[in-house]
Amino acid sequence: MSVETENIPIGFTSTLTSTLGHQVHALESDSSNLAPKIVMIHGALASRRYLLPTATILSRSMQVFVPEMPGHGASSKPPHALSVEEQAKVLFEWLRLKGLEKTHIFANSYGCQVVAQLVASNPEIAETLILTDPTVDPEARTLIQEAYRLYIDGFSEPKGSQTQLLADLSDMGIQLAFETVQQMLADDIRPKLSKILCRTLVVRGEKDPLSPQTWVEEVTRRIANARFQVIADAPHCVNYATPSQLTSIVLEFINEPNLSRVG
């Protein structure tokens, strides 16, 4: 399904930007240019759709950008799935083209892997990071393990999430979806975390089976200037399931004075 066949949310504009040979689609809020800016990065096999509940609320206080990485949503489809490193390079160039070279960055799931690669390679690109339910737990690095955990998570996700997943898979196609999961599983986020120097908030949904408590605590410990917060009763996709609660947490974190800087 293309973005033209869907209603663009009130207060957002659809854009398409040529970036390193890819056409990157994004939704951009019509908020004031003077408002703080936040970029929201989706997970694997996902798109703008499941970020919109949180993006819409955030747009009341911030200028929100929701790009879709190559292969996902309404962005162009490469012949083969990009690696995490390649996605990070595309994202870096897209941020540069948009003039977003020092901004707040939010990510969910596999998006955390892309953003960790981005910030590890370009430490000054982010003002703050919000990493929600980061993957991949080293105790579940096979396709079967991840598929089982995703199945279990489905029982906690809100009504409508399955319909969105089917729409996203339709956009992507089976081959790119399978290859993207392979790229996700091949990537190890851990060595990159120590290179993240900006203030970071790590968030986990309490009921998330894909990102267990011990794993997300480890992610937090590996980042020098990070703290950890759990959203009670929430599943993996906290941005879709608990948007009001998540937005409140994000805004409180972003608006805190930065009393300490690492590095």
Are the CB atoms for 104 and 125 separated by under 8 Å? no
- Token duo for residue 90: 């595309």
Taking the C-alpha atoms of residue 111 and residue 77, their distance in angstroms, rounded to an integer, is 18
**pLDDT (tens digit per residue) in 214-254:** 999 999 999 999 999 999 999 999 999 999 999 999 999 99
Taking the C-alpha atoms of residue 156 and residue 48, their distance in angstroms, rounded to an integer, is 21
Label residue 32 by pLDDT band (50, 70, 90).
confident
pTM for this entry: 0.94
Angle between helices 174-186 and 161-172 (to 10 degrees): 100
Question: What distance separates the 2 farthest-apart alpha carbons in the chain?
Answer: 47
Label residue 263 by pLDDT band (50, 70, 90).
very low
Q: State the CATH architecture for 3-252.
A: 3-Layer(aba) Sandwich (3.40)
Spans of all domains in the chain: 3-252
